[in-house]
Structures are given as C-alpha cells and as structure tokens.
Amino acid sequence: MTNISDVARVAGVSVATVSRALRGISTVQESTRQRVLEAATQLDYVVSPTAASLASGRTRVVGIITPFLSRWFFANAISAIEKTLREHGFHALLIDLEATGTYDRRQLTTHMLSKRVDGLIAVNIPLRDEELALITRLNLPLVSIGNPVPGCALVQIDEAQTVTAAVDHIVALGHERIGYVGAVPAQAAHTLVPYRRLTAFREALSDHALNVADSWVVSCDWTASDAARQARLLFAETGGPTAIIAGSDEMAMGVMSAAAEADLRIPEDLSVIGIDDHYLSEVLKLSTVRQDVLAQGSAAAMILLHQLLEGSEEITPSLPSNMSSDRVLTVPTDLVPRRTTAPHRGSVSSHSFLGLPH
C-alpha cells in the first residue's frame, strides 16, 4: 500500500513538504506543490481523513442543514455547496431534518454535530432558539442561505424585488385580476421565504392600486401536485383571476396542469408566472423570475471556508467582492418572460403599453 514516504521519494521532497503540499499550505511553492500532486496521482495516494483530522484538529467536514432533499431548490443548493467544499479539500455531511409530516421537521441535536463537523451551512430553514444555542455552545461557524441568523453571514436574494418583478410584468400585460399560489400555514418548516413572497405580492399589488380576493390566494405545500390540487378548487369558481403568480416554478407547473383540466388555455385564458427558473421551465416555456441557486450555494460554501481557514497556513478563499459590510450577500434575480404570459384579452391599455396593435 502506498504511503506518504513513497510520494516524498517520487517527488524528491521531504515527507513534511508532501504533507504541507497536500493540505494546501501557502508556504509551499506552486511548482513543488504540482510535483507532489503529480506523484500522489501517479501512486494513487489518498490522504487519510482520520490522520489529517488528528493532525490538524479539524474534521474537514461541513454540515449542510436542510428541511428537504428532493425539492429542486434544495437539491441544487446542496450540490453547489458540496462541489465547492470538495474543490478545497473539505467534505459535506448532510443533515436532513425532514420529518414525515408536511409541516413538521426533526430537531437539530448534539449527536448530529459534536466532533463531526467544523462548520455549518443552513439551507433555507429557520433555526430554533435551542438549535442556535447548541451551535453557539459547540463554537461552530454558521452561514445561512435565505433565512437571517443574528451574527452569521447570510446569502439571499431580494425576495421583494423578485416578486415585484413578476407582478410588474403581469400588470404591464393589462391584468388586474391576479391570484397567488404559495401561501403556507404558520407551522411550515420553511416559513420565512413563503411568507416574504406573499407579503411582497400583496405590497406590489397595492403599489398598482390593485386588490386580491382572499379566495385567490391559494395555500399549498409548495409542491406541483398540491398546487394543482388546490388550484382546481380556484378554477371551479366563476369569475376568477386572469393571471396567477406562483411562489415557485414547481407550483406554477401544478397551476398549469389544473388549468388544462379546467379547459383554460395558457396564456389566452390565463397567464402564469413562477419564480426560480426550474430546469423544466424552459422546456415548458414557463415565464419566471430566475434565481441562481448554484451561485447561492457556492457563495455560502466559500464564505464558510474563508471563516474556517482564515489565519491558517492554508490557502484561504476570498470573500465575494459584493458582500456587504454586515456580511450579507444578495444574489440578483432576472425576469425571464416566456410563452405562459400574454396581454389580457380586451385590454387596450396593455396593448398600448407594449406598443402592440389593438
């Protein structure tokens, strides 16, 4: 079995130099580092994580706390985090808090964290007071995506600006009867983002001097299937909305399915827009407001790595240049109009606004 001495012999350096080179210590010259890496690759040498942990006092493992695994946003964020960590010699420990109930979740415990991770990234999940106290007690740095945590770095999108872009797009098309899909009960495990988006929707409508009927604000569990189920009830009413804004693209797809069952043509009878730019959205020609989830995950990992490695001999990743002084990074979003939104039929004002023939 190949050991570190074999690598040192092939590379023509000392064992200590091999150790420093493989750990990314900045005092090793780049030419020497490359020679060591080539020798390690040639000999199929892999550093023992246990030995490295004992030597450095670090596990080189980062815990990723998530309320869901299978949903598009969370899966993409986790993938980006894991890839970024791996590029810097760290590994990911997935801490899935999803429970059997739709609006329930498991509790973060000492057993999940103690002596297992060097730091944590929370993906769009509000942490409870007792969980934050545990993290503080274990002295673990934390970076949050989507949910502010006092004293911790935050990666987010501007939820209000994102939803307002969707509302402005729909209003510019002449729609005044606008519904929303994506309200959630207060006990939901991921309450903050849905609450912010619904609040932003109501405020954006108010800015246009428009109101929304209570029955046009649809609650669901943020899946396509439940959005479709609840939208069927909305479409069973007469005189409903001419446009729907969904809190996510997956819910927008559910709305589209329910509309088809109700013989509503999109966009002739009903305009639909979501938020995300899900990988199926381009295929379905769904209008959306795009958020870069991969950028959010990667940025969160880089920020945490900076905190973990700052002051060490290892090469320390730089903080994002557009991060604010209070350690908040806001990733921009973009309106992506496609074929599921169109001018409201019979609306002269919308045609005039868009420069289209009456």
Task: Please give the domain boundaries of the chain with CATH numbers for all domains.
Answer: 4-47 (1.10.260.40), 57-157+292-332 (3.40.50.2300), 159-281+334-354 (3.40.50.2300)
pLDDT attached to residue 47: 64
The radius of gyration computed from the CA coordinates of the chain, to the nearest angstrom, equals: 25
**Amino acid 198: pLDDT:** 96
Contact 97, 189 (CB under 8 A): yes
Residues 247 and 196: their CA atoms lie apart, in Å, by 10
Helix (H) or strand (E) holding 161: helix 159-172
**Distance (Å, rounded) from C-alpha 195 to C-alpha 176?**
22
The whole-angstrom separation of Cα 64 and Cα 320 is: 20
If we measure between CA atoms, which residue out of 293, 214, 208, 215 comes closest to residue 250? 293
Percent of the chain with pLDDT over 90: 64
Q: Is the pLDDT of residue 356 over 90?
A: no
- Can you give the pLDDT at residue 350? 39
pLDDT at 100: 66
Residue with tokens 């493992």: 61
Q: CA 234, 239, 243, 244: dihedral to nearest 10 degrees?
A: -20
Residue indicated by tokens 């991770």: 117
For the chain, give the percent of residues with pLDDT over 70: 89
For the cut 50, the answer to whether the pLDDT of residue 145 exceeds it is yes
Nearest to 254 by CA among 278, 232, 270: 232
| Token pair recorded at residue 322 | 């557009």
Amino acid at 34: Q
Quick one: pLDDT at residue 253?
98
DSSP state of 98: B
DSSP 338: -
Beta strands in the chain (DSSP E): 61-66, 91-96, 119-123, 142-145, 153-156, 178-183, 217-219, 243-246, 271-276, 287-291, 328-330, 333-336
What pLDDT does 19 receive?
76
- Flag whether pLDDT at 158 surpasses 90: yes
The pLDDT tens digits of the residues spanning 247-277 come to: 999 999 999 999 999 999 999 999 999 999 9
Residue 285 in this model has a pLDDT that exceeds 50: yes
Nearest residue to 47 via CA among 83, 28, 22, 29: 22
